[in-house]
Structure 1
Amino acid sequence: MHLQTVLALSAILLCDAKLPKLKQHILPNELPLSSKHEHNSQKFTELKNEKTSRIVDQYRVRHRRDVFDSNAFESRLNWTHTESLDENGDFVLKWISSNSGVTFRLEARTTGYVGLGFNSASNMRGADLVVAWVDDRNERAQILDCHGLHHDGEIVADEVQNYELISGHQNRTHTVVEFRRPFNTNDKEDYIINDNTIQVLWSLGPPGSDGELPKHVKSGSKPLRLIQALSKPETISLMHWDVALKNITIPNYQATLFWCKIIKVPELPSKHHIVGYQPLIDSKPIRDGNAVNEKISSPVHHMVLYECADDPDTYTWNVWAQDNGSFGPNRPIEWAICATPIAAWAMGSKGEFLPENVGIPLGGRGGVQYYMLEIHYDNNALHEVLDNSGIRVLYTPELRQHDGALLGAGIGVSALHLIPPKQPQYRTVGICSSECTSSIMPETGINIVSVLLHAHGTARKIALKHVRDFKELPVISEESAYDARYQQSRVVPGGRKFLRGDVLITECTYDTTSRDKPILGGYSTSQEMCLSFVLYYPRTELAGCYSMTPVDEFFETFGVTEFYYLSMTSIQNVFLSSGSLENLTIPVEMEMRLAAQEETRIFQGDDQGVSFLESLMIKNPPEFRNKTFMAHLNEMQWSEPLLTSQVETRLTHKGYHMMFCKKRDDTWAVPIQIEQYPIYKELSNDISEKHYKGFKLPSVTTPAAGSAVTVRDFDVAAILCLAISIIVAR
């Protein structure tokens, strides 16, 4: 759009909005126009142009209504996605994607302005913003393409207007505006919309704020992916099976709690297919011993539903299915055969639907009879809560073409997964080895159709990589702007053929610049994970394919060769049993240290060996003698780049990894093996960029040996825009 048109639009803001007609000076809240030389002093009154009317006066609104009914104003578009950006539903965003762009509909509880923005961070510095309102006098909708300044987030109008108004109206309570924009406007002041998670900013202006930006009445942000698969199938009949806990009390003294429950399958005489699932979040605060109907932020962090392998002792399993379940670390050892995930939900997800050609078998003769629901509660607020949450399983008798399954991959959850503090980009890797896939995959391989990537709060990027015949193939799935508050699975466009002997690598990149001490792996949100849940077909016996650092390799990386009282083999057995000390003979001194940490262990729930590391006393080398291992870690000079680079290299690409390959009945598909990181030719950045949707800059991380980072003839505006986003994210 021509600059003259844009300037004229800005003039209308002053001349035709709610501002007093005789006011001649610029109010502090008005939107200055961005230019190369001036941002804050440009007056809108200099910009009047009659061509603006073609933009802002296209549609007259209908008569106002006393009660808001969005359906009464619906356009003919079939909105494929709907999100409430706030908890109360005061700002509802609807959208639909085309091949080239996105059309939006804002439904907001305000008669002032409505603001929507996109950024890599949850603030307005450098953000792409659009401001919309309906003029109170002439009932005409207007929009303005803006951006936030990088140094202070002050809002200014763009030189080029790339948002196209479709329609708008308001009544006594709500404003509704529809508009569209391309994915990539080739404007340095606009955000490039692709299939990564972005921070969607929103704000509501007070009455009388048309055309100006005073302090927001309400504002916030929410992580979303604007380009994603359709949310649900429309053409099949669905039944549901609610798998949930019953009246579980989350105590106010425990920050992390895992709870598991056995559930028996519903009576289905014939085979059905699971085609999706949705969360059932039901958490109520307990006041004076009673649960009250009060809206709270639920402590449910993530949920996984597992299939349980066959067991002839059906009597015992029926008993387990009748009770309320068990605290995760104390669950019966027999429940280990519940190892194959079929549904994995995490914060921010609205649920999942499988691709139309894949279903997970449910019911029928010879089918799975028992399932285990596992729920992780993140209760750092230390509230006492009554919980009845779970998963609604959606299934159909209309069988699909392929029987599918989920495969868990990544880094085995334990305290041996270490991320140093003060690091802007630190990588860890989990490997599914070629020996594992060779032993259990069918001759024709499998087809990967979607992936759920999972980590905690310091993760910023997760990629599921694919290696075949010593060569890296295009990444299977990647989240380059990971946000733990929004964990929705990602469909693999066209699917991916994965053959016998291929290698899966889950790589996580973390930002720990705000942390002063190392972060260890575990289930608590103060700890970290690096996992991928892979939906594929045809289903196999493989349930999990993980790796972790061998114990002696881990301690030697930090200069420790020997501890008092315990051998490296004994210590390794503790971590192979998820931090359990039941079968370990330990000295009195160590028992006393563990007893002193018992309160912390209860607070953190299942800490996966963290308290055990805090009790290990170093014997050799002499310079670290009589220090606990955690004290030694906390004293290391993590601000030294050479140290952290060496640690990262040894624990990933240059070190050894212990490989685990488990079948659905909890037996080993292959024995535990210790191998070096696989050798392969890395994929160049050029090939990666062709594979991903949208526009990507070369990686800003240090390239691994043998890789090359080159900059082609990128569009300058796009480079500046993405570079700013990366800087803000860091």
Structure 2
Amino acid sequence: MMDKKIIFVVFATLGCILLTSALEVDTYDFLMPNVWPHRDELYLCTPIRISPHSNYYIVGFQPNATMNTAHHMLLYGCSEPGSNESVWSCGEMQTNEVDKMYNTASPCRSGSQIVYAWARDAPSLELPKDVGFLIGQNSPIKYLVLQVHYMHRFPEDKRDNSGVFLKYTKRRMPRQAGVILLGTSGLIAPQRVEHMETACTINENKVLHPFAFRTHTHSLGKLVTGYVVRQTETGDVWTLLGKKDPQLPQMFYPVVSTKPIERDDVLAARCIMNNTHDHVVRIGATNKDEMCNFYLMYWVENDTPLDQKYCFSVGPPYYYWNRARENLGNIPLSEI
């Protein structure tokens, strides 16, 4: 397989376009190197190394995949990749199963953060004006790792190059983008509608400007909702960030409220799941399992994004908002 640890170079196999703002944007084709998904429920990762001598800002993402081929894709930013291989097996929840074709490792060895996510034939994403994900010299992101989840085994004569075309520039963006992922562990009892909930307090002295959100579940998800909770003397005030049926294209949608998020505000997310099966369904890596994820994309002005990249709870039956250490009040009722 071809070596994908390629240094990001401005003029290497790139197409250049000029935007109306005179921002020069190049394209990098970050694709799986003709891999063979040789078994069901396979997660594969491939990396690129960013040049340590320059800063780059990712300003757009154009997916090169279909839901018939890839269940979902994640783009990780890493300080170190999970492996030195050109491709490796990188299931989100590793099992004891030994893969005879690919070595097994996590997407990142250190410095893991989500940069982009795609599923269900979601379209391209272009970031707002003057907003970009900083990678390279002055960023903790020294590598990008593309993870693709293949639900089904491919025929022996078929290979895949799913991935994403990255739009980037060397021009400094005054607004750095970041993503925080809210999610849960837990289980859903048989024949039950369950609320899977999580919440975390912002403990950093930063002002976040939310601009997009994305939801992700598997087949049992009915509605995923994200909020900002501001605790006031008269009670907790819940502001909707976004809600979406996760069975729709799992793209990044504009947030409902762009009101800045500040220190001591609480981010909260809820997935409403309907388990029509006669068995327990748990959070896990395969399509037979479930996931409850709410991605919030934001920017900060002349600052760096949150050090906190993830906000997870243990989920049901042990965790709900009314048991959260944030002592949440005025909790919204079920929306279905």
* 2-structure distance, mates of 1:528, 1:522: 6
**Cα distance, 1:338 vs. partner?**
4.5
Distance 1:347 1:541, change over 3 A: same
Does structure 1 residue 428 correspond to structure 2 residue 192? Answer: no
Structure 2 match to 1:326? 89
2:84 partner letter: W
**Cα distance, 1:270 vs. partner?**
3.9
Asked if 2 retains the 8 angstrom alpha-carbon contact of 1:421 and 1:512, the reply is yes
1:541 partner letter: D
**Cα distance, 1:404 vs. partner?**
1.3
| 2:249 match: secondary structure | coil
Structure 2 match to 1:473? 238
Distance 1:349 1:274, change over 3 A: same
Asked if 2 retains the 8 angstrom alpha-carbon contact of 1:429 and 1:508, the reply is yes
1:430 partner letter: T
Matches within 5 A, 1:333-352: 335-352=108-125
Does structure 1 residue 271 correspond to structure 2 residue 55? Answer: yes
RMSD: 3.0
Question: Greater helix share, 1 or 2?
Answer: 1
Structure 2 match to 1:447? 209
Higher relative contact order (CA 8 A, sep 6+): 2
* 2-structure distance, mates of 1:247, 1:389: 8
Matches within 5 A, 1:286-305: 298-305=68-75
TM-score normalized with structure 2 length? 0.78
Deviations along 1:455-514, one digit per CA (max 9) or x if unpaired, are 1111111100221215132211111xx14351111112562311112211110112333x
Distance 1:525 1:472, change over 3 A: farther
**Cα distance, 1:405 vs. partner?**
1.2
Asked if 1 retains the 8 angstrom alpha-carbon contact of 2:136 and 2:142, the reply is yes
Distance 1:320 1:394, change over 3 A: same
Does structure 1 residue 680 correspond to structure 2 residue 329? Answer: yes
Structure 2 match to 1:618? none
Does structure 1 residue 511 correspond to structure 2 residue 179? Answer: no
Distance 1:345 1:494, change over 3 A: same
| 1:356 match: secondary structure | coil
Asked if 2 retains the 8 angstrom alpha-carbon contact of 1:477 and 1:492, the reply is yes
Question: Greater strand share, 1 or 2?
Answer: 2
Distance 1:473 1:520, change over 3 A: same
Asked if 1 retains the 8 angstrom alpha-carbon contact of 2:241 and 2:257, the reply is no
Structure 2 match to 1:496? 259
**Cα distance, 1:262 vs. partner?**
2.4
Asked if 2 retains the 8 angstrom alpha-carbon contact of 1:264 and 1:369, the reply is yes
Deviations along 1:667-697, one digit per CA (max 9) or x if unpaired, are xxxxxxxx547331235x8xxxxxxxxxxxx
Structure 1 match to 2:141? 368
Does structure 1 residue 242 correspond to structure 2 residue 29? Answer: yes
Asked if 2 retains the 8 angstrom alpha-carbon contact of 1:652 and 1:677, the reply is no
Structure 2 match to 1:28? none
**Cα distance, 1:530 vs. partner?**
0.8
Matches within 5 A, 1:44-123: none
TM-score normalized with structure 1 length? 0.38
**Cα distance, 1:396 vs. partner?**
2.1
* 2-structure distance, mates of 1:279, 1:525: 21
Distance 1:276 1:456, change over 3 A: same
Distance 1:382 1:400, change over 3 A: closer
Does structure 1 residue 255 correspond to structure 2 residue 40? Answer: yes
Deviations along 1:272-328, one digit per CA (max 9) or x if unpaired, are 32111111238xxxxxxxxxxxxxx7331111111112x6xxxxx79826x223343
Asked if 2 retains the 8 angstrom alpha-carbon contact of 1:411 and 1:431, the reply is no
* 2-structure distance, mates of 1:420, 1:411: 15
* 2-structure distance, mates of 1:500, 1:459: 31
| 2:309 match: secondary structure | strand
* 2-structure distance, mates of 1:493, 1:268: 37
2:331 partner letter: E
Distance 1:494 1:485, change over 3 A: closer
Distance 1:426 1:238, change over 3 A: same
Distance 1:327 1:318, change over 3 A: closer
The aligned length equals 299
Asked if 2 retains the 8 angstrom alpha-carbon contact of 1:264 and 1:318, the reply is no
Structure 1 match to 2:293? 531
Asked if 1 retains the 8 angstrom alpha-carbon contact of 2:107 and 2:145, the reply is no
Structure 1 match to 2:14? none
* 2-structure distance, mates of 1:376, 1:234: 36
Asked if 2 retains the 8 angstrom alpha-carbon contact of 1:430 and 1:530, the reply is no
Asked which structure has the greater CA Rg, the reply is 1
Deviations along 1:613-640, one digit per CA (max 9) or x if unpaired, are xxxxxxxxxxxxxxxxxxxxxxxxxxxx
2:240 partner letter: V
* 2-structure distance, mates of 1:393, 1:243: 7
Asked if 2 retains the 8 angstrom alpha-carbon contact of 1:341 and 1:543, the reply is yes
1:355 partner letter: P
1:277 partner letter: F
Task: Name structure 1 gaps, 5 residues minimum.
Answer: 1-232, 283-296, 312-316, 555-646, 656-674, 686-698, 702-730
Pick from 219, 223, 247 the counterpart of residue 457 of structure 1. Answer: 219
Deviations along 1:386-420, one digit per CA (max 9) or x if unpaired, are 222111111123433301111111214xxxx2112
**Cα distance, 1:256 vs. partner?**
0.8
Structure 1 match to 2:97? none
* 2-structure distance, mates of 1:419, 1:350: 31
Pick from 652, 660, 672 the counterpart of residue 320 of structure 2. Answer: 652
**Cα distance, 1:547 vs. partner?**
1.2
Distance 1:383 1:519, change over 3 A: farther
Distance 1:452 1:247, change over 3 A: same
Deviations along 1:332-380, one digit per CA (max 9) or x if unpaired, are 469331511111111220121112231111334666321222111111x
1:245 partner letter: M
Matches within 5 A, 1:616-695: 651-655=319-323, 676=325, 678-682=327-331
1:411 partner letter: T
1:387 partner letter: D
| 1:262 match: secondary structure | strand
Distance 1:244 1:421, change over 3 A: same
**Cα distance, 1:383 vs. partner?**
5.1
* 1-structure distance, mates of 2:258, 2:30: 29
Structure 1 match to 2:308? 542
Asked if 2 retains the 8 angstrom alpha-carbon contact of 1:260 and 1:331, the reply is no
